[in-house]
C-alpha cells in the first residue's frame, strides 16, 4: 500500500494477487458479466443486512465488476445498467479487502482518515461499508461481497460475523458450479 502525502489518504493498495485471481476467474468462467444467481445472492445479502445496496464484486487488474448487484432501483423492477456494474479499481473499499484478505467494517467511512477521501463518498453518497473477501480452496481471493449504505450504520460484531459467513456460503456455491 502506498500513501500519497499530497492528498492525505491511502491510495489503492498494490495488488500482487491479481494475476492468480484473473487465472482463477477465467477457469471458473465468472467475473466479467452479469450473473442472475449472483444478482439473487446480492438481493438476499441486502435483505439480511438491511442495506440498500449489495454487490458480488470481482476485481481485475484495472476495474471492479459487480457480477451480482442489488440496488433500490432493482426493487422497482428496473434492471441494472451495465455502467452500474463497473467501477474503477481505485474507487470504493473492496480492493483493500481483496489485498488484505480480511473483512472490513466501516460504520462511517468519513470517520476513517485512510478511507475518507475515496471518490465514491461524494459520487454515490456512501457512508457505511461492510465487505468480506471471497477466498476459494486454491487460496485465490476471487473478489468480495459487500453492502453499502448512504447512512451511517453500526454493523458491529454481528455484521462482521454475518458478512464472513455469507462470503463462505458464496465461495461454497461457486465451488459447486465447477464440480
The 3-state DSSP class for residue 111 equals helix
Q: What H or E segment, with its residue span, contains residue 67? A: strand 63-70
| pLDDT for res 113 | 80
Q: Note the pLDDT of residue 179.
A: 56
What is the pTM for the complete model shown? 0.89
Q: For residue 54, what are the contacts with CB-CB under 8 A and spacing of at least 6?
A: 42, 43, 45, 46, 68, 69, 70, 145, 146, 147, 148
Q: For 63-107, what is each residue's pLDDT tens digit?
A: 999 999 999 887 777 777 788 899 988 888 999 999 999 999 999
Q: Which CATH number fits domain 3-177: 3.30.450.40, 1.25.40.10, 3.30.2090.10, 3.40.50.300?
A: 3.30.450.40
Grade residue 141 by pLDDT with cuts at 50, 70 and 90: very high
Amino acid at each position: 500500500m502506498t500513501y500519497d502525502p499530497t492528498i492525505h489518504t491511502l491510495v489503492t493498495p498494490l495488488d500482487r494477487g491479481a494475476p492468480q485471481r484473473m487465472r482463477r476467474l477465467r477457469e471458473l468462467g465468472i467475473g466479467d458479466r452479469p450473473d442472475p444467481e449472483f444478482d439473487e445472492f446480492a438481493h438476499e445479502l441486502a435483505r439480511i443486512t438491511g442495506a440498500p445496496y449489495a454487490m458480488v464484486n470481482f476485481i481485475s487488474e484495472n476495474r471492479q465488476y459487480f457480477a451480482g448487484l442489488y440496488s433500490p432501483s432493482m426493487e422497482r423492477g428496473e434492471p441494472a445498467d451495465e455502467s452500474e456494474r463497473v467501477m474503477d479499481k481505485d474507487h470504493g473499499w473492496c480492493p483493500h479487502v481483496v489485498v488484505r484478505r480480511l473483512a472490513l467494517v466501516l460504520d462511517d467511512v468519513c470517520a476513517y482518515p485512510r478511507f475518507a477521501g475515496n471518490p465514491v463518498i461524494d459520487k454515490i453518497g456512501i457512508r457505511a461499508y461492510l465487505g468480506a473477501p471471497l477466498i476459494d480452496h486454491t487460496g485465490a481471493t476471487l473478489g468480495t461481497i459487500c453492502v453499502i449504505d448512504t447512512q451511517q450504520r453500526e454493523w458491529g460484531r454481528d455484521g462482521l460475523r454475518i458478512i464472513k459467513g455469507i462470503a463462505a456460503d458464496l465461495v461454497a456455491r461457486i465451488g459447486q458450479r465447477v464440480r
